[in-house]
Every structure is written in C-alpha cells, then in structure tokens.
Structure 1
Amino acid sequence: MDFFSLLWLFIILSSLQPMLQQRILMMQRINKMRELERKRNSRVIAMIHRQEALSFLGFPLARYINIDDSEQVLRAIKLTDDDVPIDFILHTPGGLVLAAEQIAMALKKHKAKVTVFVPHYAMSGGTLIAMAADEIVMDENAVLGPVDPQLGQFPAASILKVVEEKPIAEIDDQTLIMADVSRKAIQQVTRTVETILKDKMPPERAAEVARIMATGTWTHDYPIMVDEARELGLPVSTEMPQEVYELMALYPQPQQQRPSVQYIPAPYERRNGAQTR
C-alpha cells in the first residue's frame, strides 16, 4: 500500500474509533444493568445526566430532564409487569417540570415496589421523581434539592416577593405577568408534591413538606442531605448496591486537557496500623 492509501485508512479508522468506543461503552452499561436486575429481581431504569462528548470532535452536550426522557421512562414502565419491582437510578441537575411530573406520577402508579437510587445528586425535578418512590436509596454524601419552580433565571418565589414588597405603581407589566405565572406555578408544584406524598405520610405532614419544598424556603441549589431528608419524612436508606457505583463509572465526563481530580482507582484499607491496597 502506498502512503496515501495508508493515510486514508488511518483517517477512516480514526473516525470510526469513537463510534466503536461508544458501542462498547453502551454494551458495558447494559451488562451492568442486567447484573443489578438479576441481583435484585427487578427492572432497572437509569436516567443519568452528564455531559457527553459528541462524535470525535468532543463538543460537550449538557443534559437535563426533558420530554424525550419522560417518553423513554414511561415506555420502560409500560413494558414492566405490575408485579415487577422498578429500580430507578437517578443522577440529574433537574429539568422541565412537566417531564419530571410525568415520570413521578408514572412511578407512583406502579403497583410493585419502586426504589430510586441517588448515588450523587438528584436536584429539582430529580427530587420530585425521587419522592414518588417507595424507597429512596442515597449515598451517605448524596443530596436532593428543593422543587420550587423557576421562571427563566429567577425563582418564582422571589418574583412574588417583589410584588409583595413594592408598590403596585412601581412595578412594570412584565413583572406583574411573571408574578401571576409564578403564583400559579408554585400552586401547581405544591399540589403535585402533596399528591405524591399523601400515601407516604399523614395529609397534614404531606402539605407541610410540600410547602417547604415548593415555595422557596431555601435557594434552589440548597443541598438536602440524608439526615434532613429523613427529618422531612422521606423514606431514605443508605444501602447503596456497589453495582450502582460501577454503572456510574461507565458514564464518564468528557476528558479535559488537565484533570481537576486525580486518585488511584483502587480501594484502600487499613489493617494493623498499615495501609493496604
């Protein structure tokens, strides 16, 4: 083969390599999910939102809960018999309220046990989904978050605060319209949270938790850790299967020029005063 033939072969192989790597990664993910399904005799559904590298160009794509996600999850639930438990692995910063509510209600209606696993974080709409589960399994350092609605870049509760504290004559029409939408959004999300929680705790407590979670008690990125989630009355456990962590490792972030975190990827133990690997 001449030089130009070798060059073209190199270019073709280089362009196919990312596709082959992604295919191998997908098979590894499926095998790990099947391993967890066999162990727990359940249907495993994973919704893991990370930045994925697109093609061989490496452009990052930010992920969040959207309508495509709700369509896929609802289809997976529909394909699951009523007596088959569902294990839902969740890692997300949140997303569209509509999509999150659809997923949460579908999980709530499933007759067999639903377990949501949160290995790192499930914020905003992710927390709404987690609250629909019969059991929430969190890593000891994982977090949930408030579900108060956001209008663009502003919290709905903060928009209402402006209307409450400023004279009406000093407020422009757009802000008044946003305040009206904010009020409706908070009422809708509060009612949804109450509906999700009403069969998990007394009605009065469900209403109180809905108020805390949906009306702007905290900033939207406030971390609700295990102890606080339990204080709210959520059914939280920390018995996280190792397979969940192993599955998360198969969703790597795009490689950067210089890694910001480095460590030797092996478990360390200390025995008799000496460190072993």
Structure 2
Amino acid sequence: MDNMNTLDLLTFFFIAFVLYAVLLPQIQLWNLRRSRMGLIKEMEQAWGSKVLTMVHKKEAISLFGLPIYQFIDVEDAEELLRGIRSAGSRPIDVIVHSPGGQLLPSIQIARALRNHPHKTRAIIPHYAMSGGTIIALACDEMVMDADAVIGPVDPQVGDLIRGSYPAHSWIYATEMKGKNADDASFVMRHISERALSMMKDHLRELLEGRVDEDSLGEIDRMLLGGEKVHSLPISSKEARKMGLFVTTEVPDQVHRYMSTFRASKGSVEYLS
C-alpha cells in the first residue's frame, strides 16, 4: 500500500511537472500577445494607420524556456503581405526589429510596401539590418531611434561546405588567385556578380522618385558597394547624410511594445 501511494505521488509530480513545463510558457506567451495586441490597437487609434510589426528576438518562450532564434523568412512575407493588403486605403506603419534573413521574402515585403498607394513608414526602435534595411528602404519615411541602426544590403553567397561570404569577397578572391582559383570559386563569383546586379536594380526600384541621382549613388556605395562589412551599423545621422528621409522621434508606444518581449537571458537589470 505504501509503495502504491509512493508510486501515485511520483506519478502526480511527474504529470504536474510536464503540465507546468508545457502549459506555463504557452500561458506566458498568450498574456504577452494579448498585451501586444492591446498596444497595436492603441497605436492604430492614435496614428490612424494600419500597424504591422516584424520583431525578431531571442525569446525564452518555448518548451523548458529554450530560446527561439528568428530571422526574416517566407512565413513572415506571407503574414506581412496579408497585413499590407488588409490596410486598404489606410497608411501603414511597420515596426521593424530584425537582424535580417532570407533575400526573397525581404524583397517581397519591400515591394508590397513600395506599391501600397498610401503613405508607409518604417519605425526602427533598435536595429534593422540586411533584409530589415531593405524593408525599411521601401517606405516613404524611416523613423529611427537616436541610437538605432540599419546596415548594408550586399548579398551573402555560399554553400553549406564553404560557408557564406559577401559577394564582393568572392570576386576579390578570384581576382587575387587568377587562374589558380578553383572552379567552385569561379561559380561563386558568377553568382555573386548576378546577385549584386540584381540587388542594385532592387535598390533603384525601391528608391526611384524618392532620392536624387547623387544620393542614389551614395546609398549604393554605402549599402551595396562592398566598402563596408555586412554587419556595419549605420546610424540615423549617417542615413540622412546618404539622402534617406529619416527622423528620430520614435513614439513612446513603440518602446512600450518592445518591452513586452521576454529576452532569453536577463543579464541587465535596473530600477524603472
């Protein structure tokens, strides 16, 4: 009887632990999403626009609190394209917080924003690198926090064996080695040249009619020219110097929205 009671107790604790591990993160996520939806509704009412968000953070909301790593992918494009279509005749505000990601969905999102018939505004509270920069460039206006950054959009080319490297680096490597370069490197160079040409066309498509030729040349040099490493942070001040229409008055609601995301590590603490 005692053994049976002990077994029942162990079973109860095991079931309770599993339910805690599985359900608690979901309840926390549900509460966070409810808070975010409330803030999005508040922003839409205050601004009179359709508010879309694309936030990629390492959040400890999965099973056992393991972090979820995020980047721009086709699922993001599907959701954002639906959101852009649902805006109808309203302006669009899109909050972007992203390290970048896949080129195809980034361009899809950017084109949809560029083709929207009413004003579009990208709000960057912290950073929008690579594909995130492409999306921001498609908007009529960029609102960057005073300490926020964007980054170069030069294509990264490679494979699983060699790894991915900037397109300009493949071209440089084959030029240095000449005929001593292997066939695979020449293939990567060929792909790199096509990718750079394509990206240059996309930049012109997104910025046509919004900046003059001199500014377009400077933007091309800074973001695509290969002079800067792909992870280079470009400030709002530098973005304005390039000729981009950038302001720095990020609404307070955006910072409150960003504070609802639960980081996967809590190494920074302070009193509010």
What TM-score comes out, normalization by structure 2 length? Answer: 0.90
Deviation sequence 1:119-142 (CA, Å, 0-9, x none): 000001111111111110000000
Structure 1 unaligned spans of 5+:
267-277
* 2:50 pairs with 1:39: no
Question: Counterparts of 2:262 and 2:27 in 1: how far apart (Å)?
Answer: 16
Structure 2 unaligned spans of 5+:
159-163
Question: Counterparts of 1:212 and 1:51 in 2: how far apart (Å)?
Answer: 29
**Does the Cα contact within 8 Å between 1:190 and 1:211 map onto a contact in 2?**
no
Question: Counterparts of 1:138 and 1:221 in 2: how far apart (Å)?
Answer: 18
Q: Structure 1 194/208 Cα, relative in aligned 2: closer, same or farther at 3 Å?
A: farther
Percent identical pairs in the alignment equals: 37
What are the within-5 Å matches in structure 2 for residues 108-187 of structure 1? Answer: 108-152=114-158, 153-168=164-179, 170-187=180-197
* 2:71 pairs with 1:60: no
* 2:271 pairs with 1:261: no
**Does the Cα contact within 8 Å between 1:191 and 1:210 map onto a contact in 2?**
no
CA displacement at 1:252 relative to structure 2: 1.7
CA displacement at 1:213 relative to structure 2: 1.3
> Secondary structure of the residue that 1:158 maps to in structure 2?
helix
Deviation sequence 1:92-140 (CA, Å, 0-9, x none): 0001111111111100111111010000000011111111111100000
Question: Counterparts of 2:26 and 2:151 in 1: how far apart (Å)?
Answer: 36
Structure showing the higher helix proportion among its residues = 2
CA displacement at 1:205 relative to structure 2: 3.1
Question: Counterparts of 2:99 and 2:142 in 1: how far apart (Å)?
Answer: 17
**Does the Cα contact within 8 Å between 1:127 and 1:144 map onto a contact in 2?**
yes
What TM-score comes out, normalization by structure 1 length? Answer: 0.88
Q: Structure 1 95/12 Cα, relative in aligned 2: closer, same or farther at 3 Å?
A: closer
CA RMSD in angstroms, aligned pairs only: 1.7
CA displacement at 1:216 relative to structure 2: 1.1
Match of 2:231 in 1: 221
Aligned with residue 97 of structure 2, among 79, 91, 98: 91
* 2:252 pairs with 1:233: no
> Secondary structure of the residue that 2:67 maps to in structure 1?
strand
> Secondary structure of the residue that 2:233 maps to in structure 1?
coil
**Does the Cα contact within 8 Å between 2:62 and 2:68 map onto a contact in 1?**
no
Instruction: Give the number of equivalent residue pairs.
Output: 259
Match of 1:105 in 2: 111
Question: Counterparts of 2:18 and 2:189 in 1: how far apart (Å)?
Answer: 56
Tell me which stretches of 4 or more aligned residues in structure 1 moved more than 4 Å: none
Question: Counterparts of 2:17 and 2:37 in 1: how far apart (Å)?
Answer: 30
